[in-house]
Amino acid sequence: MKRISFYLLALLMVLGIYSCGTSTTEQTFDTSKIRRASAEETEQIIEAFILAEDSTTIDIPEGFYSLSTQLILDNKKNISIKGAGMDKTVLSFKDLKSGGEGVKIVGQGITIEDLSIEDAPGDGIKAQHTDGITFRRINVTWTNGNKSKNGTYAIYPVQCKNVLIDECIASHSKDAGIYVGQSENIVVKNSLAFGNVAGIEIENCDNAEVFGNVARDNSGGILVFNLPGLPKSDGKNTKIYNNEVRDNNHKNFAVPIGEDPNGNTVTMIPPGSGIVLLAAKDVEIFGNKIHRNKTVGVAIASYQVTGFPAEAPNWSPYTTGIYVHDNSYERKSFSIPDFTRELGKMVAVYNAHGFGKAQDIVYDGIWDENLSKTIDSNPMKICISENMEGLRFSRFYLMEGEDKIDSFDDYQKFQNCKVSVTTNLSFLQIP
């Protein structure tokens, strides 16, 4: 232990610089040349949201709209909100004076498409208590040079049903770019998330598919979490497939650089994380390109690793029923794992392959001792069916606290099993 600490110190000093993580302020579109909409035009848009009648379309013509109040669609049915294109219609909330999000939607059968949302102080666009919500070709971003001023979530459906996020772009949010929370029946496809702390996050949700997306240059690419103490207490059944999860080596800017993580779980995500599962239930991960994430490709963890109280009604802190198969892995060369977060250090220092070596798959090895005395019987049903040749796998032993951390390259225990994860996307056929 002492020796490790010594190495740690020495290496931290030398390699600290390399492990800092990257940062980007890349913008997909240049919106500076778009015609500035007049105050009257902007007021018309605000009115259109307030006066919207069921089964109508709100057209937002080409222009850069500078809003100082929120756009709220309140409990309407079958409304289509339509811009002239992500590079043509921009709703800027840089001057917003109050309110938690730029655009807020509540209702039934709502579609919003072809526009950009910039610089909302809180969340970009939030949909709540909505049955049938489609985001299509929506670009949500922040243009601040200093990313610590950016908002929380870019695209944020919560407590919704039948959610489709298609061909969207979410960048530079301080938490998750695309965040689906406490919802059911979800598809996130063909979208791009970059420069966020978390690219795409599915939290306390049931029945979700995430496919055909690119999650790159975030701190963590794709996350499936279940957090305690929420009205939707636990979630299950998620498929993550055919995504590109690459180069997620961005600094974790959810708290100011140099500050310790706060109570937001995302602040603990080590830069260089591909796919992270936390207290997740029934997740299938396959056909993804998991490339050049400098700390870990796939991380399977229970909530206990956060160190936060892990008890809540109708909720379990364990990650169970995981099936990881047929993904492509590539480690980042000339690089060392993250040392800025505890979980990064754990991987870097205690993995089963050697100090400072990035891992392709890690499992925190925390299991429910009520189910089994040992982990050998794979009580949490973690199934890994990959060609392990050349891959680095680490199963940690954390059951006796920090002083007895150990790790093993015993992937065999978790092979030769399957978990059947069922999702149902029939809602997509509903016009």
Partner 1 sequence: MRRILLGIGTLLIFSAGFLSCQKAEVEKEKAPSRALAPEEATGEYPYRRLSTYGFFEGEMNLLSPSEEIIYYNPASSLFTDYAWKSRFIHFPEGTKANLVDGELEFPVGTILIKNFYYPTDFRKPENGRRIIETRLMIHETKGWQAYPYLWNEEQTDAVLKIVGAETEVSFIDYNGKEQVINYLVPNKNQCKSCHNKNEALAPIGVQIKHLNNTLDYGMEMENQLVHWAKLEKLEGFDSPENHPSLINYEDKGQALDERAKAYLDINCSHCHRAEGPASTSGLFLTYDEKEPLKLGVNKTPVAAGKGAGSFKYDIVPGKADESILTHRMNSTEIGVAMPELGRTSIHKEGVELIREWINSMEKSK
Binding site for partner 1 (CB under 8 A): 40, 43, 46-47, 49-51, 68-70, 72-75, 96-100, 104, 106, 121-123, 128-129, 148, 151-153, 156, 158-159, 174-175, 179, 181-182, 203, 227-231, 254-255, 259-260, 262-265, 267, 308-309, 312
> Minimum distance between the CB of residue 412 and partner 1, rounded to whole angstroms?
36
Pairing of strands 238-241, 220-225: unpaired
> Minimum distance between the CB of residue 148 and partner 1, rounded to whole angstroms?
8
The DSSP 8-state label assigned to residue 22 in this structure reads: B
Which residue's structure tokens are 């922040």? 142
> Minimum distance between the CB of residue 318 and partner 1, rounded to whole angstroms?
18
CB closer to partner 1 out of 143 and 159: 159
Structure tokens at 78: 């079958």
Q: Which residues 6+ apart lie within 8 Å of 149 measured at CB?
A: 142
CB closer to partner 1 out of 27 and 44: 44
Alpha carbon of 278 to those of 302, 355, 387: distances in Å?
5, 24, 24
> Minimum distance between the CB of residue 426 and partner 1, rounded to whole angstroms?
26
Question: What's the CA gap between 428 and 187, in Å, rounded?
Answer: 9
> Minimum distance between the CB of residue 26 and partner 1, rounded to whole angstroms?
21
> Minimum distance between the CB of residue 306 and partner 1, rounded to whole angstroms?
8
Question: What's the CA gap between 218 and 221, in Å, rounded?
Answer: 6
CB closer to partner 1 out of 180 and 298: 180
Task: Tell me how crowded residue 322 is: count the other CB atoms within 10 A of its CB.
Answer: 24
CB closer to partner 1 out of 70 and 288: 70
- Tell me how far apart the terminal alpha carbons of the chain are, to the nearest angstrom: 61
Question: What's the CA gap between 168 and 114, in Å, rounded?
Answer: 9
Pairing of strands 406-408, 393-397: antiparallel
CB closer to partner 1 out of 280 and 348: 280
Structure tokens at 345: 């250090």
CB closer to partner 1 out of 176 and 384: 176
